[in-house]
A and B are shown apart, each in its own frame.
Chain A
Amino acid sequence: MPRTNWLTCITLGAALSLPLLAGAQAQVKEAAAPAATRATRTPAPADAHVYIGWPNDGEVLHTRRFKVWFGTRNFGVAPAGVTKANTGHHHLLIDTALPPLDEPIPNDKHHLHFGAGQTETYIELPPGTHTLQLIMGDADHVPHDPPLISKKITIHVQ
């Protein structure tokens, strides 16, 4: 059995237990790094499709805070941690390139996770030109195979 599976398992269990286990954070950090690479990715059907429903590519926004809605076709949404065929959860990439496809999607200001199964969000961006792109992650936040990636759109916040 590949060692990484154990570590993924430990990481998952630890992450889920985190609110209960005071002082467990150090263990989680240790386990997180080795779990970053997996031998196989969760398969996705060839006709699955992810897109940004709003804003449109090239949109000029007159407000800094705006809604982004996530479109998914021939594919379902499930919260993080739920393993079910043909499902995943959304990640919104802001002003960044695609992350590595064989490891969990980073979780920071440029990589927003929607692990509660959300299909829309509000974001606030400073004035200027920005890029937005969606990528689905599986139960463990790893992109599918093939990856479900939206077109990268450019928006202008005034």
Chain B
Amino acid sequence: MKRICFIAAASALIALAANSTTTSAALNEGAHAYIIWPRDGAVIPGGKFWLRMGLSGAGIAPAGIDRPNTGHHHVIIDSDLPPPGEPIPNDKKHLHFGAGQTEAHIELPPGRHTIQLILGDADHIPQNPPIISKKITVIVPQ
């Protein structure tokens, strides 16, 4: 039953997609990601905090979900932007939030750290142009 339902829904979606000239990676002009919290320059004793991810002009969809004007968040820590056109790496410096999360519990060692958001599409590839946040710096005291 569920399968039939899925097929019905999928067929409808495919029909819709065929009618649309928008590609999955396309986002509204002016869509942008931003870090709601922490603030740029924040001093975070202990280094543990909830990072809150903001997205304007677009929606969140989990990885693997191909919908126009959506993507999922990736958090880049102490690293530059990954190369365009390729899947965002998945390691300690590139955290994936493919379950559609908009918050992440982060733990950083003492020191200065940079944090930046980049949206990825269903296949973890940045949109073109990329939807990125400002790169912020946080300080974890010794």
Contacts and interface: CB of A to CB of B under 8 A. Distances in A.
B61 A117 contact: yes
A71 B37 CA distance: 12
B12 A13 contact: yes
Contact-size category for A: 20 to 34
B5 A78 contact: no
B119 to A, nearest CB: 11
A133 interface: no
Contact of A119 (B5, B8, B16, B60): B60
Contacts of B19: 19-20
B70 interface: yes
A117 B103 CA distance: 15
A13 B8 contact: yes
A61 interface: no
Interface in B67-107: 67, 69-70, 97, 99-103
A82 B50 contact: no
B22 interface: no
A87 B99 contact: yes
A20 B54 CA distance: 33
B4 A9 contact: yes
B13 interface: yes
B55 interface: yes
Interface string B1-15: 100110011011101
Contacts of A114: 59
A43 interface: no
Interface residues of B, number: 33
Given A119-B54, A119-B55, A72 B67 contact: no
B42 interface: no
Contact of A16 (B13, B56, B101): B13
A5 B1 contact: yes
B5 A12 contact: yes
22 contacts: A9-B8, A12-B12, A13-B8, A13-B12, A17-B15, A20-B15, A70-B102, A71-B102, A75-B101, A77-B100, A78-B65, A81-B9, A81-B13, A82-B67, A86-B99, A87-B99, A116-B59, A116-B67, A116-B70, A117-B60, A117-B70, A118-B55
Interface of B: 1, 4-5, 8-9, 11-13, 15-16, 19, 36, 50, 52-56, 58-62, 65, 67, 69-70, 97, 99-103
Given A53-B36, A76-B101, 4 more contacts: A9-B4, A76-B102, A79-B67, A116-B69
